[in-house]
């Protein structure tokens, strides 16, 4: 008679494991489920306030925070950041010292990254007189421009190779 309780227990365990899901989004609100890549139009974005570099050769940091205003979405990887100075542009490289995390953002959740840069001398040969930065999210093709008021950015080899970097997204807030 012990075979029946063991069979029922085994069947119950198998059903519970199956109910845990295969990782797909069930719409249940579970933050561990999959979702689509976040799009810039569905997020509130705030660049700054910055710890601006006060003089040429100094390092500054510009924190960028995104808040999901819509349906659940995912950020995984590094943001794409391009600095613009009129017709000249420069892509900011990734700071690979930190490993990107997969962040599932429900409505109201926030994430952030930091852009670190070295301020250049006004009019210097390797100086990029930045007027705006363009932000693109990982996994999405749309972008948004933001004004830049932190002075020129120093180039490494030339103005098109900025002495700057962006970190991967990290969960922010509670």
* Domains of the chain, residue spans: 37-172
Pick the residue with more confidence: 4 or 168? Answer: 168
Identify the band that residue 132 occupies on the pLDDT scale cut at 50, 70 and 90: very high
pTM of the model: 0.76
Please determine, for residue 69, whether its predicted confidence score (pLDDT) is greater than 60.
Answer: yes
Beta bridge pairs of residue 147: 132
- Region 149-171: mean pLDDT is 94
**pLDDT of res. 26:** 32
Could you tell me the fold of the domain covering 37-172?
A: Immunoglobulin-like (2.60.40)
Output the pLDDT for position 34: 54
Give the confidence band of 13 by pLDDT, cuts at 50, 70, 90: very low
Residues 173 and 109 sit within 8 Å (Cβ to Cβ): yes
Band the pLDDT of 64: cuts 50, 70, 90: very high
Instruction: State mean pLDDT over 86-103.
Output: 92
42/19 Cα distance (integer angstroms): 31
- Token pair for residue 149? 């008021």
Categorize the per-residue pLDDT at 115 as very low, low, confident or very high, splitting at 50, 70 and 90. very high
Helix (H) or strand (E) holding 143: strand 143-147
pLDDT over threshold 50, residue 160: yes
Give how far Cα 171 sits from Cα of 6, 48, 67, 102, 174, Å. Answer: 44, 17, 10, 9, 9
Separation between Cα atoms, residue 40 and residue 66, nearest integer Å = 9
Work out the percent of the chain whose per-residue pLDDT is above 70: 79
**Cα(72)–Cα(35) distance, rounded to whole angstroms?**
6
């Amino acid at each position: 008679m012990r075979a029946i309780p063991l069979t029922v227990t085994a069947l119950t365990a198998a059903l519970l494991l199956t109910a845990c899901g295969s990782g797909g989004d069930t719409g249940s609100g579970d933050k561990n489920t999959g979702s689509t890549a976040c799009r810039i139009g569905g997020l509130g974005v705030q660049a700054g306030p910055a710890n601006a570099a006060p003089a040429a050769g100094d390092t500054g940091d510009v924190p960028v925070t995104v808040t999901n205003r819509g349906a659940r979405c995912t950020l995984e990887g590094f943001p794409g950041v391009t600095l613009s100075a009129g017709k000249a542009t420069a892509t900011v490289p990734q700071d690979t010292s930190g490993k990107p995390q997969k962040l599932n953002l429900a409505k109201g959740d926030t994430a952030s990254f930091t852009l670190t840069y070295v301020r250049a001398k006004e009019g210097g040969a390797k100086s990029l007189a930045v007027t705006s930065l363009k932000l693109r999210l990982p996994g999405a093709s749309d972008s948004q421009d933001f004004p830049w008021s932190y002075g020129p950015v120093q180039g490494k080899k030339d103005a098109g190779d900025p002495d700057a970097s962006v970190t991967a997204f990290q969960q922010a807030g509670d």
